[in-house]
Amino acid sequence: MTETVKDPIRPTDDEARALACGLIAGARFAALGVTDPETGFPAVTRIALGSGPEGGIWTLVSGLSAHSRALRADPRASLLVGEPGPKGDPLTHPRLSLQVMAEPLAPGDPRRAAARARWLADHPKAKLYIDLPDFFFVAFRPVSGALNGGFGRAFRLTPEDLA
Amino acid sequence: MTETVKDPIRPTDDEARALACGLIAGARFAALGVTDPETGFPAVTRIALGSGPEGGIWTLVSGLSAHSRALRADPRASLLVGEPGPKGDPLTHPRLSLQVMAEPLAPGDPRRAAARARWLADHPKAKLYIDLPDFFFVAFRPVSGALNGGFGRAFRLTPEDLA
């Protein structure tokens, strides 16, 4: 086997950065990975995804959910974005795995009103639950990214690559 | 707030079991959650999903991938199955989060030939890489499941519920 096969990571270029940022911008939802505080197992659930009032990667979650309890115990998380279409090999569809720190918006945070307006503009159906007392916003701060642009097209990304 | 709102988990019934088993049977791929052995962060990636020669939940992965290195260090994993369609609120679409133990098929395992035939029947495009020396099968043994059948329809499932 050649060295190229053993290390499938390519040097990050502008095309990879643009693909990663496009996957984030186009994501209405994501697979969220957290660590289950009771068992230590990873736990993957689906969450809504959107932007905060000044961009970034945000979600709106219920405090009653298992993932929000897990994030209170350990804010280290992962997000997978980039959904395959109904046809073709789903493993050839580009996707981005992010390692992120979850930063919940505290009650009374002055950004709440702008975040609410931005979220409802992008997720109109959220009006059914956005004002329930257990729902709150979380901002995800990227730590690193792994972009898979299809077979043999893998890249590592820094927070700067994703800004 | 009433007790019903504080504990949104419903008693598991046959309808929930059938929905969960249908989500597994229909999944061509899944979001896999592992623990990154270098950072301790959760890491979510996309993998192919299928059945083994006698059923169950199997994948075919490359030993060069970050998730297979992570599973060698810690076999505790999570799978998310149940993909939203292109329309509607993706958070109302049923999905299943599993906690699983990853059990790789050892080289020379007598089940390999039957697993290979079953996999190619379900994933014909895998013929491009199934015989590469770094690819191997992994069986996932369910430990527990969390089914979300849409807003307010949450269930906990045991391995027996999923058999």
Contact of B41 with B48, CB cutoff 8 Å: no
Instruction: Give the pLDDT confidence score for residue B3 in this predicted structure.
Output: 39
Gap between the Cα atoms of B125 and B120, Å rounded: 8
pLDDT, residue A6, reads 54
Partner-chain contact B77 A41, CB within 8 Å: yes
What pLDDT shows up at residue B6?
Answer: 53
pLDDT at B7: 61
Instruction: Tell whether the torsion through CA atoms of A69, A72, A73 and A74 is positive or negative.
Output: positive
Mutant choice from B9, B32, B46 vs A, greatest count of A C-beta within 10 A? B46
Binary contact (A31, B44; C-beta < 8 A): yes
* B109 to chain A, closest Cα gap in Å: 24
Q: What is the pLDDT of residues A110-144, one digit of tens each?
A: 999 999 999 999 999 899 999 999 999 999 999 99
Per residue of chain B (163 residues), what is the pLDDT tens digit? Answer: 343 445 678 999 999 999 999 999 999 999 999 999 999 999 999 999 999 999 999 999 999 899 999 999 999 999 999 988 777 778 889 999 999 999 999 988 999 999 999 999 999 989 999 999 999 999 999 999 999 987 778 999 999 999 8
Interface contact A78-B28, CB threshold 8 A: no
Domains of chain A: 27-81+93-157 (2.30.110.10)
B chain contacts of residue A32, beta-carbon cutoff 8 Å? 44
The answer to whether B64 contacts A6, with C-beta atoms less than 8 Å apart, is: yes
Cα separation of B156 and B146, whole Å?
5
ipTM score assigned to the predicted complex: 0.93
Tell me if B110 sits within 8 A of B134, measured CB to CB: no
Model pTM score: 0.93
Q: What angle do CA A30, A34, A38 make, to 5 degrees?
A: 145
Tell me the H-state helices in chain B: 3-6, 14-25, 66-73, 112-122
